[in-house]
Structure 1
Amino acid sequence: MPSRAQSFLSRDEEVGFGQSTAVWLVLVITRIIGRVIIRIDPGSATPIFEQLVRAVRTEVLAGRVAAGERLPAARDLADSLDVNAHTVLHAYQTLRDEGLIELRRGRGAVVTNAAADAEAVRDLAAGLVAAARESGLAADTVFAIIREEFDR
């Protein structure tokens, strides 16, 4: 049955040698949804919803998904990735809380303009990191300063 989502599985095989030869299969699920590549590793210690958040966030911030573009319906994406729909909804809610998408009744998940705004912030962050390195400040110190500014 054709769907909007094209998918494929990639299997990475690793062979271990010792007293006896053993073969381990690591299953990594990769889905191409429109232009968005979502890679899920069910064996990872990272929860699946967080893997989804990271994958979508990366694609949005890289500009491969434009503002106003719709993400797949949660149920469709869940079916494509063979995960629970609540897992996808949890990921979408996290992305909404980050301001990267809006959840609209009847329209689903829509990418916001925040990605374009994030590019300007990324440039400022690069300058901040350069200044911190020049000053010899540790990353944890810079993160603490940023947290303080957010808490104001």
Structure 2
Amino acid sequence: MLIRIDTGSALPLAEQVATAVRRALADGALHPGDRLPAAREVARLLDINIHTVLRGYQQLRDEQLIDLRRGRGAVVIAVPAQARLREAASQLVTAAREAGFSESRTIALLRSCWPEDS
């Protein structure tokens, strides 16, 4: 699995790490049960702090996309549909922020797209 970062991006490095993993899940490059590269190795290869990688991994754990345990590493637990939705939601939030939308305005927009009978 390839994790790339853009040092010129306004997106924090930890978020870029999480986004790369989400994208790999959404694209089917990662599957439940797959192990992510060790945080230490990712940090070394990307020349960033290990805590930055761990923050990205912790975010994925909080999103219930991976299981993160000391000594065992990071293991994918999410189903691809969940990862695709998480990635789409992340892109929506980024686009909304760039457009100057508040959280409440973005949620209202999303609700307006939801059918009444659901």
Q: Which has the higher contact order (CA 8 A, sep 6+)?
A: 2
Distance in 1 of aligned mates of 2:42 and 2:13: 13
1:140 shift after superposition: 4.9
Other-structure match for 1:51: 16
- Structure 2: runs of 5+ lacking an equivalent: 89-105, 114-118
- Choose between structure 1 and 2: higher strand proportion: 1
Other-structure match for 1:118: 82
Question: Alignment length, in residue pairs?
Answer: 95
- Structure 1: runs of 5+ lacking an equivalent: 1-35, 126-138, 147-152
**Greater C-alpha Rg:** 1
TM-score, structure 2 as length reference: 0.69
Does structure 2 retain, via aligned residues, the 8 Å contact 1:49–1:88?
yes
List structure 1 segments (4+ residues) > 6 angstroms apart after TM superposition: none
Does structure 2 retain, via aligned residues, the 8 Å contact 1:95–1:101?
yes
Distance in 2 of aligned mates of 1:75 and 1:67: 22
Q: Please tell me whether residue 68 in structure 1 is matched to residue 33 in structure 2.
A: yes
Q: Please tell me whether residue 141 in structure 1 is matched to residue 105 in structure 2.
A: no
Distance in 1 of aligned mates of 2:59 and 2:112: 24
Q: Please tell me whether residue 80 in structure 1 is matched to residue 45 in structure 2.
A: yes
Aligned residues: CA RMSD: 2.7
Q: Determine what percentage of the aligned residue pairs are the same residue.
A: 51
Does structure 1 retain, via aligned residues, the 8 Å contact 2:31–2:76?
yes
Distance in 2 of aligned mates of 1:37 and 1:72: 9
Moved more, 37-46 or 70-79: 37-46
TM-score, structure 1 as length reference: 0.55
Distance in 1 of aligned mates of 2:60 and 2:107: 25
